[in-house]
Amino acid sequence: MVDVSPVSHRDIIDRAGGPAATSKSISRHETDAGRPAVDANTTKAWKRLDSIPAPYWQAFVATALATHEELADAAATRRARVAA
């Protein structure tokens, strides 16, 4: 069995090319859905906090930046770490 460390929200943003690239991808999806674009400073804050707000998870999934499972697992891991 391979031990794979959990992916964090910070890792997901890095994997997407960093905050600016993430912002660009997510903004395209959000504006197509009639919602406001996501500023690069916002995604920088998500990375710094290691927390992607749940209302944006669908945009990450729709743009193939992450799966719901990865996002949920990362949030659960962060909650456990913060509570400890």
Per-residue pLDDT at 41: 97
Rounded to an integer, the average pLDDT of 4-20 is: 91
Tokens of 77: 């891991």
Question: What confidence tens digit (pLDDT) does each residue in 45-79 have?
Answer: 999 999 999 999 999 999 999 999 999 999 999 88
Per-residue pLDDT at 18: 97
- Please state, in angstroms and as integers, the Cα–Cα distance from residue 44 to each residue in 13, 33, 59, 66, 68, following that order: 9, 22, 16, 17, 21
Q: Is 78 helix (H, G, I), strand (E, B) or coil?
A: helix
Burial class (CB in 10 A: 0-12, 13-18, 19+), 81: exposed
Distance of alpha carbon 77 from alpha carbon 63, whole angstroms: 23
Per-residue pLDDT at 4: 56
Q: Read off the pTM.
A: 0.88
Per-residue pLDDT at 5: 63
Question: Mean pLDDT in the chain?
Answer: 92
